[in-house]
Amino acid sequence: MTEIKVSIERAIKRLLFIKEYELQPADKLSFAAINMAIQALEKEIPKRVNKASENKLNTNLCPGCSREVRIRQFYCETCGQKLNWD
């Protein structure tokens, strides 16, 4: 695992801990902000691009939203997911 991925995963765990144990249930704005931060951090962890079905040759799909992505794009233009082409 890369250092960046480990750092992102640690940040996500810390945010989940804060959400679970340190926030008051009435603090809905903070809950929403933490959820948004977690979603943004999760998109920074590269996910492998999916190959489309046999009928669509050379078509690649985003692992986050299943929309078509261009070859060697770093991020999905639709959902912002970081892409892994390895």
pLDDT, tens digit, 9 for 90 and up, residues 6-63: 999 999 999 999 999 998 878 889 999 999 999 999 999 999 999 876 666 678 999 9
pTM, two decimals, is 0.77
For range 55-80, the mean pLDDT: 89
Report how many domains make up the chain: 2
For range 74-81, the mean pLDDT: 96
Cβ burial of 45 (10 Å; 0-12, 13-18, 19+) is: middle
Q: Which domain holds residue 70?
A: 46-86
**56 and 31 within one domain:** no
**40 and 5 within one domain:** yes
